[in-house]
Structures are given as C-alpha cells and as structure tokens.
Structure 1
Amino acid sequence: MDRWDRWGRAAAYGAAVALLPYLLIKVWWVIGSLAGVISVGEGFTPAGWIILNTVTIGMAVIGITLALALVRPWGMRIPGWLVAFVAWVGAGFLVSVLPYAALSTLVDSGSGGAGSGAGDAAEMSDWEGALAQFGFIGTGLGLALAFPAHIRRRWPDVFTGRVGDRPPAGLPWAAVAAAVVGLAWLYWTAGGTLGIEQPGNRDTRWYMLTGLGAFWALVGAAAVRALARARPARLPRAIPMALGWIGSGSLFAWSGWKLPLTLIVGLTHPDGVTPPESVAAAMALHLAAVVAGAGMLRVLVRSRAYGDEPRLSRVGG
C-alpha cells in the first residue's frame, strides 16, 4: 500500500464518520416530528417536512456507503459505472461547496450563529448547525482525497498523460450550455436584475452560492473545452479531468436538487419562501445546468487517455 492508498483509506473512513452527525440529526427530526415532540420547519406541512428529511436521510446513507465503498474490498465488486456516478454526484454536492462552507463558517462566527450550509439554517439550532457544517466539510474533503485514490486502483489511466495526447474534437455543446448558465449566474452575482423578481431578498449567502455556482459552471466548461480541443497540449490531463469532474457534478447535482424544489415553490407558494429569482428563470437555468452537467460527464468519460476502451461501465467491474 503506497502513500496515496494510505491517505485515501484514512480520508474515506473520515468522510463516513463526518457524515454520521448529520444523518442522526435528520433521523431525530423525522422521529420527533412523527412523535410530536419537535415542531415542523417553518413553511412546511408535516408531510412535506417528513418527506424532505427522509430524502436527505437517504442521501446521507448513500454518502456514507459511497465513502466505505471507496476503501473496502466489497466496493470493488460494485459495478464501476455505479461507483463513478454516485461519486460524481457526491463530489458535485459536497466538494464543490467547500469554499462556501469555509466562508459561511467565518460569516456565522462573526454574526454569532451557525448555519448548516444546506438550507437548514432556519430550522437547526446552533449546535446542530455546527455538527452539520462539520459533516459537509469533512465529507467533502474526504471524498476529494478518497475518490482519486480509488481511481488510481480501478482506472489507472484516467489521470495519466497530457491533454494533447488525443486529436482535437469539436467544441462540445455541453460546454457551451454550461458557459451560458455560468454567465447568467455570474450576471446575477454582479447585481443584474433580469430574471430577478425580489431583488431585496438577495442576501450574502445567496450571492456566495450563486457566485460559486457560476464559478464551477465556467471552470467545468473551460476544462471540458480543453479536453475536447486538446489545448494546451502539454497540460497534464489530471487538471482538466478533475476540474471538469467537479464542475459538471456541481451543475448536475445542485440543479437536479433545486429544480423540483423550485417547481414546488412555484406551484404551492409556501408562506415565508420568496426566492429572489423568478420561478421561470430559475427553472430554465437549473434544467439547462442538469442537461449540461450530464453532457459534460459524457465528454469526460470519452476523453480517457489513450483511447476509450474499455469504458467505465466495463472497467473494474
């Protein structure tokens, strides 16, 4: 076992342990709501509250299982495409928001509060928010180290070589779509009001999250473009592959999560929930982001060094 494998093993176990507090908090919320000992979150019906938290429980269980699968022997028996897809979504959710988690922690410490980093701040107490924040940061950092180590064992050619090793291809439509979405979010971050219905509802967190989404959309688009155009030729393949992986996963995961929530808000108009964006504009951008993220993943899979065979679905199980 070399140094990378040792670091990957420690990071995988750390990621699993870090997410346990968030899982336990959400389980308690569901049980406590059903038993009537804790109140339902503001703006939610009892059924909606339980469904939302049950979904997040499932996501936490998947995250812990993924972390263990990256390091345990039974993880190598799971189909490679399934591990790669779940890791891609997990990295999109957690790794991409590490800068936001760090910045929001500073903001919270300055204002005397603790946020969860996942939209639960209004419902979580300070200690619950601190545990959840720890879980997101710890799991994100753990996946950022554990998954590359897993790739080195399972698909050793993914990060090898340089961008110019393959002939150039046409500019992928997914990169163009991601750039358009990123520029739209960047416009909103810069204070643009087209597509904004409630400008006064744009707070610091909204600006940070929107700006971070724009950053990863544009970085991911640039990385995929570099792989497709084979320029700059001497750039190590690992750099655009990693950036494209996180950027495309961020687009797919976060917009895939926000798209149904935006639709629900538009249809039900819950009390106390007034997002700055218009429902139509937000849904259009989230839908475009999901499609672009999936398209970028396809480009990344086909951009493996020295040919495309065998494909991810057939490598390592």
Structure 2
Amino acid sequence: MTQTLAHVPETDPGTVGLSRSRRILRAVAVLACVPYLSLKVAWIAGSRLGIPDGSVLLEHRATMAVANVVTVLMDGAVIVLALVLTRPWGLRAPAWLLAFPAWVATGLLAPIMAGFPLQLLVDALGGTRVGAGGDGDSFLDAWVFGVVYTGFIVQGLALGALFALYARDRWGGLWAGRVWELPVGVIGPAQQAVAVAAAVLALLPLSVHLLWACGGTVGLDETQAADRTSGFYTMEALSVVFLAMAVTGGLLLAFRHGRALPVRVPLALAWVGSAATACWAGWLSVAPLTDVADGPAPLMNLAYAGQMIVGILVASLGVHFLAERSASRKRRTA
C-alpha cells in the first residue's frame, strides 16, 4: 500500500535539496555522525579509547566487534538518509524504502533525545544510584556517553527537520485539514479493531513500566534492582509516555476523536509513539544478546514484546491511513 505514496510529489523534484537551510541541515546531520563512527571504528581496530580496565566490553571481543560493525552500518544509514532527503532523486524513491528507515531512526533516536537531557537534569537535581552497587561504572568512561548521546541528539534534530521538510513537499496534502474533515471510509471497522487491540495490549507494558518508574521491583532480578539509577527511572517514565502517545494517536485516527485537531497531530503521535515504542523495545531486547547472563528478566522480555506488537499495530494504522488518503486524492483528481 505504501507504494501509492511514491508517485505523488507535490513540488518540482528539482527544488528539493537546493535551499541553503537544507544543505546546512544535511551537513549537520553528517558531521554529527563523526564522533560515534570514529569511536566505533577505533574499537573495531582494537583501540580501548574510552573503555576502562575491567569493562565487560573487554570480555567478549569477537561479539563486540560484530556489534560494532552493525552499529557502524546503522549510523552510516543516517548519512544515506540525509542524502536521500536532500537530493532531487530522493523524491522518486519508493515510499516504503524511505519511510521505514526514517521510522526506525525516529524510534531509536527519540528516546535518547528526550531521555539524555532529562537524565542530566535529574542528576543535576540530586538524582543518584538507588541500589547498593553493581559494576555499571566500569562499562565505559563517562565522557563517552556525553559525546555519543550529544551526537545522537544533533542527528535526530537535523534528520527530523530534513524529513519534515521532505514529507511536506512530497506528502503534505495527506495530512491537510482537521480530524472532523476526514472521510468516514478512510478508516474502517477493521482498523478500529486494530486500534482497540493496540490499546488493550498496551496495558501490560504500560503498567510494568509505570510500576518500575514509581520504584517497584516486581519482575526485576537482584542485580537489576540493585543497579537502578535515576536514569533507569527516567527511561521507564519515558516508556510510559511513548506508549501513551502511540495508543492515543491510533485511537484518534481510528475513531476520529479530537475532531478539531489538525490531522498532523494524531499522525505525529502515532509516528513518534509507535516508532519509539517498537524500535526501542526491539533494541533493548537485542542488545543484551552480547551477554546472555545480563539479559532482560522474563517480565521485562514480556513488556518489550508487548511494546513491539503495539508499535507495529499503530504503525500499520498510520500506513493504512496515508495509503487510503493518497488513493482518495488520486481518485478525486482523475
């Protein structure tokens, strides 16, 4: 269905990527990748820059080398995406080939963009480790997190601005107007059932993350409970927020609630909420595979699985909405 979105450019393709602001944003996005890529390449080459003695990263060199190669490719995709969003030929790319990487990038960057500044604020206000110990301090030198996460935030801001400009040029008409103006046929009973299913399935992960954000330890093993920091509580609270965004966006689209709202509001909620919910949970599920002993507890795995299902369901609603509205516009202009 997303293929229908690939052939409705609303501006001359030659105008995309020529403005000074877009060139600056592209340069910022590319340059923001340099610190992370430099560190990863150095580690692949055998450097221990930023890795203290006793770090768990030194215990699984082969596994970490593979993980570093994968993450280099992931961050390299940001550079490719920045080019696609700012070159004339980018408007001719199939919609799914662009939208899916952008959705994944949103899901991986949004929690960092929101969580890292909040964590710094909480720490500045006296937030500290709640548990009694753990070896988290030997994972990486503190400066590494500052350099890497600052780069991610800049990447997210620049790439987000580029994608918003690109999407406005190519698909801006698909989210024009207000919710009450949407034709009834754009979303049918099947999509409403999907929205309700997403809301019901979100109850478990939402409750679990809310419990952990409030200090509960149900489902955490002794090590995880002991190693909780203010950052842990910040990210758990954000998990609740992103789940709520996804469910709210899905319900608003499916049932046309909030009729006075611009259509872009529920679409933005569904996009960011579903991406952050599904992709961040997927990342947290996969990342610990480098050390199975330190992997998520069973309840945590269940919560992550629920988040991924909810995110995918809400994302499918957004895809259906955009595809149907695109088809409707083409029928009217035929």
Same fold (TM over 0.5): yes
Note the C-alpha offset of 1:180: 3.6
Most deviating of 167-176 and 151-160: 167-176
1:202 to 228, 231, 249: 228
2:104 to 70, 89, 99: 89
- Structure number with greater Rg is 2
Aligned pair in 2 of structure 1 residues 159, 305: CA closer, same or farther (>3 Å)?
farther
Aligned pair in 2 of structure 1 residues 230, 8: CA closer, same or farther (>3 Å)?
farther
Note the C-alpha offset of 1:52: 1.6
Aligned pair in 2 of structure 1 residues 73, 178: CA closer, same or farther (>3 Å)?
farther
Query: Which amino acid in structure 2 is aligned with residue 56 of structure 1?
Result: T
Rounded Cα–Cα distance in structure 2 between residues aligned with 1:78 and 1:201: 46
Most deviating of 40-49 and 280-289: 40-49
**2:280 match:** 254
Query: Which amino acid in structure 2 is aligned with residue 88 of structure 1?
Result: W
Q: Secondary structure in 1 aligned to 2:174?
A: coil
Q: Normalization by structure 1: what TM-score?
A: 0.81
**1:115 match:** none
Give structure 1 stretches of 5+ with no counterpart: 112-119, 312-317
The reply to whether residue 150 of structure 1 matches residue 166 of structure 2 is yes
Task: Give the conservation status (yes or no) of the 8 Å contact 1:175–1:296.
Answer: no
Query: Which amino acid in structure 2 is aligned with residue 200 of structure 1?
Result: A
The reply to whether residue 159 of structure 1 matches residue 169 of structure 2 is no
Percent identity over paired residues:
30
The reply to whether residue 58 of structure 1 matches residue 73 of structure 2 is yes
The reply to whether residue 17 of structure 1 matches residue 17 of structure 2 is no
2:82 to 55, 62, 67: 67
Aligned pair in 2 of structure 1 residues 182, 292: CA closer, same or farther (>3 Å)?
same
Task: Give the conservation status (yes or no) of the 8 Å contact 1:33–1:40.
Answer: no
Rounded Cα–Cα distance in structure 2 between residues aligned with 1:200 and 1:140: 32
Note the C-alpha offset of 1:174: 2.3
CA RMSD of aligned residues (A): 3.1
Note the C-alpha offset of 1:137: 1.0
Query: Which amino acid in structure 1 is aligned with residue 234 of structure 2?
Result: M
Give structure 2 stretches of 5+ with no counterpart: 1-14, 127-135, 330-334
Task: Give the conservation status (yes or no) of the 8 Å contact 2:274–2:310.
Answer: yes
Note the C-alpha offset of 1:261: 3.3
Q: Deviations over 1:248-301 (max 9, x none)?
A: 001121111122334564xx31xxx4x7xx621111111121122111111011
Rounded Cα–Cα distance in structure 1 between residues aligned with 2:159 and 2:52: 33
Query: Which amino acid in structure 2 is aligned with residue 301 of structure 1?
Result: V
Most deviating of 221-230 and 189-198: 189-198
Q: Normalization by structure 2: what TM-score?
A: 0.77
Rounded Cα–Cα distance in structure 2 between residues aligned with 1:306 and 1:66: 26
Q: Secondary structure in 2 aligned to 1:304?
A: helix
Aligned pair in 2 of structure 1 residues 242, 253: CA closer, same or farther (>3 Å)?
same
